[in-house]
Copies of this chain bind each other. A is one copy, B any other.
Amino acid sequence: MNTPQAPEPGTTPGAHPLDMALRLIPEHDGSARGVAPAAYWNMVGPYGGITVAQMLQAVLQHPERLGDPLSITVNFAGPVEAGDVRIEAVPVRTNRSTQHWTVSMGQRDAQGAFVVSTTATVITAVRRDTFSVDDLPRPAMPDPMRCERFDTRGAMEWLQRYDMRVVQGAIPKTWDDSGHESLSQLWVRDDPPRPLDFVALSALCDVFYPRVWLRRARRVPAGTVGMTIYFHADAAQLARQGDKHLLAQASAQAFRNGFFDQTAQLWDSEGVLLATSHQIVYYKE
C-alpha cells in the first residue's frame, strides 16, 4: 500500500514533466519543498491541477500514509508565485482502514513571512473487494484517434502538457453570447504519454476550461476557488489503463452571483468510472 509514488529527488534527466513537477524534497520539520512548475504555468500562476497533484503527492510520500487516495479537497486561497513552495501534510487521525489529512501549501513573501496559498484535506483508505457497480454509464464516443487533437500552439504552457481531443463543448470560436449549455466531453491524456496513477489522475480532473465561457459564449475572468475529487479506482485499476486516453466530461449545475459549480467525471478507456470531481469557480460579471 505504501509504494513510493515519487521519483527520488534529483534523479532522471529527461523525466516526465509531471514527475519533475512532483519532486518534493522532505525537510527536517516534516514538510516538503517543491517548486511551482514552469512546465505547467497558467496565466498568472501554476495550473490548478498541478497544485492539486502536488498537495496529493505530499500525502503519498509521507512515511505514515495508510492506503490509497479516496478523496481530496483543495481550496485555492491565494496566488502561487514562481519559485519554491512548501507543503505540510499532517495525518490528523488514523483509523483501521481510513486516514484523515490536512495539507497546506505556502511560500515566503518579499518580507520573509510564510504565507499560505492553498489548503486541502485528504482521505486515504485501504479498500476491499465488495459489491461494485457504476451508476453513470460512459457516454458513447468515437475512438480518440478518430477525434481531432486540440491545437495548443501559442497557448499557455500547461496546455502543452496534455493531448486533448474534444468531442463536444469545445471552447467557443466566437464570443457572441450565443451559448446555451455547459457540457464538454473530451478524450485526454498526458503529453508525452505517461502511465496513469493517482497524481496524474488528480491533475487531469482540472483540465476543463471555465464552464461560464461555454454557457455564455463570453470570455470573462474566472478561476477555481475550491475543488474536490473522489477516487473510485485503486492503484491496480489505474495501472491497467496505462497511458491510454481517458474520457473526461464536465458541466455546470448553477451560475449565480459570481460563482458557478462544475461537476466532472473521468472514465477509463474501458468505460469504468475512475474519478468524479466538483469545483466552485469564481467569475466576474
- Majority SS at the chain A contact face: strand
Cross-chain contact B254 with A128 (CB below 8 angstroms): no
Interface residues of A in 169-192 (CB under 8 A from B): 181-182
Q: Collect the chain B residues with CB atoms within 8 Å of residue A95's CB.
A: 77-78
A105 to chain B, nearest CB (A): 11
Q: Choose from B119, B133, B254, B285 the contact partner of A276 (Cβ within 8 Å).
A: B254
Binary contact readout A56-82 vs B (1 if CB under 8 angstroms, 0 otherwise): 000000000000001101010110000
Q: Is A232 an interface residue (CB 8 A)?
A: yes
A interface residues, tally (CB under 8 Å): 62
One of A2-10, A151-159, A222-230 at the interface: A222-230
Q: Is A208 an interface residue (CB 8 A)?
A: no
Cross-chain contact A119 with B135 (CB below 8 angstroms): no
A229 to chain B, nearest CB (A): 10
Report how far A127 CA is from B130 CA in the complex, Å. Answer: 44
Q: Collect the chain B residues with CB atoms within 8 Å of residue A285's CB.
A: 130-131
Cross-chain contact A100 with B123 (CB below 8 angstroms): no
Cross-chain contact A261 with B230 (CB below 8 angstroms): yes
A102 to chain B, nearest CB (A): 6
Assuming the A-B contacts A100-B119, A130-B285, A285-B130, are A259 and B70 also in contact, with contact meaning beta carbons closer than 8 angstroms in the complex?
A: yes
A112 to chain B, nearest CB (A): 18
Which 7 A-B pairs give the minimum distances between C-beta atoms? Answer: A77-B100, A77-B93, A127-B257, A73-B73, A136-B253, A232-B254, A254-B273
Give me the interface of A with B, judged by CB distance under 8 Å. Answer: 70-71, 73, 75, 77-78, 92-93, 95, 98, 100, 102, 104, 115-116, 119-121, 123, 125, 127-136, 181-182, 212, 215-216, 225-226, 228, 230, 232-234, 251-259, 261, 263, 265, 273, 276, 278, 280, 282-285
What are 13 A-B pairs at a CB distance below 8 A?
A73-B226, A77-B98, A93-B115, A123-B225, A128-B257, A130-B258, A130-B285, A133-B215, A133-B254, A135-B255, A232-B254, A254-B276, A278-B278
